[in-house]
């Protein structure tokens, strides 16, 4: 059964969403991310994807206080990403209650550091964030594109102990047009050992059903919940 993982993206301590990673498209959904997280937990959700968008932009952890409040105020298993660029950032994230962290831009810009993190904490604590545009990796909150091939990127990190990836197709993110089914199938076919968490474009419960049929391990849902395209009631069958 696919794991439902709602997303809370944070700017200035508030719950927001962007479209295609563009900060100019910021829309505030709630001033208090803890209130949102508690609603998720009340519905039976166990996991949360918490992203520090200020951190992603400023290249260091910014919203640690929000992480700490959500971790203390719920029993959700939190994976935290955005702005994790140093050992100190990682220690702050874990000390503030993150059970896992997502290494995104840092996995491109400072591979040796992420390898050290994998050696120290293991693949159950470090998730690889693979944000893609036309199967090329993008970094820095999607502000920078690279020519790094997604599949070569994954192959290399699997060698270093990565077990779980969050793969976001930037072209789909926040568009409510459906996820990149073909891309996820391609990843699953090539790397059956990977735990794949799909992200971006989820627009209706049928998208979740299809990903579940494809045996994708997890799905991050953001705007579809906030815009009432998918209700918490609809996802309850996946929460058993």
The torsion angles phi and psi of 215, rounded to 5 degrees, stand at 65, 35
9 part of the active site: yes
The two structure tokens encoding residue 236: 């309850």
Q: Any residues with CB less than 8 A from the CB of 88 and at least 6 apart, and which? A: none
Residue whose structure tokens are 């993008």: 138
Q: Any residues with CB less than 8 A from the CB of 19 and at least 6 apart, and which? A: 25, 173, 174, 175
24 part of the active site: no
Choose, from 54, 89, 131, 169, the residue flagged as catalytic: 131
User: How far is the C-alpha of 6 from the C-alpha of 224, rounded, in Å?
Assistant: 10
Residue whose structure tokens are 């505030």: 28
Q: Active-site positions?
A: 9, 131
């Amino acid at each position: 059964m696919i794991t439902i993982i709602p997303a809370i993206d944070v700017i200035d301590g508030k719950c927001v969403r962007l479209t295609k990673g563009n900060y100019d498209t910021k829309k505030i959904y709630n001033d208090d991310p803890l209130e949102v997280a508690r609603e998720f937990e009340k519905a039976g959700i166990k996991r949360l994807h918490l992203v520090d968008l200020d951190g992603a932009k400023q290249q260091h952890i910014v919203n640690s206080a929000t992480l700490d409040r959500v971790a203390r105020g719920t029993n959700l298993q939190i994976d935290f990403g955005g702005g994790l660029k140093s050992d100190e950032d990682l220690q702050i994230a874990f000390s503030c209650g993150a059970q896992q962290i997502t290494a995104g831009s840092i996995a491109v810009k400072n591979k040796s550091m992420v390898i050290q993190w994998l050696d120290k904490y293991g693949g159950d604590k470090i998730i690889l964030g693979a944000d893609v545009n036309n199967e090329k990796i993008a970094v820095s909150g999607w502000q920078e594109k690279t020519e790094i091939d997604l599949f070569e990127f994954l192959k290399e990190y699997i060698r270093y102990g990565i077990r779980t990836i969050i793969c976001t197709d930037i072209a789909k993110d926040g568009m409510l047009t459906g996820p990149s089914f073909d891309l996820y199938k391609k990843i699953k076919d090539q790397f059956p050992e990977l735990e794949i968490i799909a992200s971006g474009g989820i627009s209706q419960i049928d998208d979740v059903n299809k990903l579940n049929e494809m045996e994708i391990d997890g799905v991050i849902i953001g705007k579809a919940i906030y815009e009432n395209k998918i209700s918490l009631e609809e996802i309850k069958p996946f929460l058993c």
